[in-house]
Amino acid sequence: MKFTAKQIATMLNGKVEGDPSAEVNALAKIEEGFPGALSFLSNPKYEEFIYETESTVCIVNDTFVPSNSLAKTLTLIKVKDAYSCFAKLLEMYDSMTKEKPRIESPSFIHLTAKVGKDLFLGAFSYIAREALIGDDVAIHPNVNIGANVQIGEGTIIYPGATVYHDCIIGKNCIIHAGSVIGADGFGFATDEKGEFQKIPQIGNVIIEDNVDVGANTTIDRATMGSTIIRQGAKIDNLVQIGHNVEVGKNSAMAAQVGVAGSCKIGNNVMIGGQVGLNGHIKVGDKVMIAAQSGVVGNVKDSSVLMGTPAFDSKEYKKSYLGFRRLPRILERLQAIEDKMKALTKD
């Protein structure tokens, strides 16, 4: 599908500098541009590429002033925020590739399940009894939707994902391939023989609106009550979230994060890759935790943590600087000891 620079500028409330009739039919990074491509420039770090790109149209901030000559074939669209505008275009492009409503065969919908309008149900998918599926939902092939599950309108569930019984997923969520929502929490107790006895996990998982869950991520159901992922949270691939955890609004965690049971994470928290969080702790709002940190206790609002056990990032950096200097300090200490021994002998 082709769009002119004028049409794109109208959608983004921008201004065209160059040929308003210039047509594009693809998106490309500015350093990999080609004729017919639309690119964007928001970071001055990449400005050099705009003078050599072969893209036909480029979205730039309205404050951008070229410091060199642009290609005669390059048309600019000036907007208030080039990055957010390009993200909006990506979203629009993605929506155009959305699967058309249909129910593929073979697939199964229980007689007691209720499905909304414009459902896409991929082949080999299964919707169990009493499930409630909203309008404009896309359930891709090989997805299993358990009994009494609720899925809000506009949600997309990609191939191979499983949503266990009684779980609730809100509106406009994305559950990526291979994710498991609502498997049993890791609950066991030892008996008098020292053998593990399973504790039934009778709760569920509640995922609120506009949540993204990455591929092969697992979110365990609560022992009792609910494991809750609040509105707008973003969870990367290969994340493990234990039973009875709560993740606050608009919080984000990168790949391979592990959250132990009953941990409570606040709003607008940023968690780097491979972070481990202890069970039964509380992490405040607007906290930032660096990658590979281990959080073992409660964290106050707006803290920035690093290390294992994690502590204040500024103190951690000072400590790490001292750790790197430790070999030289030991050498100097050894030299002092040698001199002291020599003086003692004299």
In percent, how much of the chain has pLDDT > 90? 86
**Token pair of 51, please?**
């003078």
| pLDDT tens-digit series, residues 11-28 | 999 999 999 999 999 999
Cβ–Cβ < 8 Å for 8, 38: yes
Say how far apart CA 318 and CA 325 lie, in whole Å.
11
Cβ–Cβ < 8 Å for 302, 283: no
Q: Which residue in 57, 56, 63 sits closest to 79, CA to CA?
A: 63
Per-residue model confidence (pLDDT) at position 343: 85
Instruction: Give the bridge partners for 218, in sequence order.
Output: 180, 240
Cβ–Cβ < 8 Å for 159, 176: no
Per-residue model confidence (pLDDT) at position 159: 98
**Architecture of the 3-96 domain:** 3-Layer(aba) Sandwich (3.40)
Burial label for 72, CB within 10 Å (0-12, 13-18, 19+), is: exposed
Per annotation, catalytic residue among 110, 165, 243, 280? 243
| pLDDT tens-digit series, residues 60-98 | 999 999 999 999 999 999 999 999 999 888 888 877 778
Does residue 155 register a pLDDT over 70? yes
Where do the H-state alpha helices sit in 97-198? none
| pLDDT tens-digit series, residues 245-304 | 999 999 999 999 999 999 999 999 999 999 999 999 999 999 999 999 999 999 999 999
Per-residue model confidence (pLDDT) at position 34: 96
| pLDDT tens-digit series, residues 211-231 | 999 999 999 999 999 999 999
Domains 3-96 and 161-309 share a fold: no
Domain spanning 161-309: which superfamily? Hexapeptide repeat proteins (2.160.10.10)
The domain locations on the chain are 3-96, 161-309
Per-residue model confidence (pLDDT) at position 346: 59
Question: Does residue 243 carry a catalytic annotation?
Answer: yes
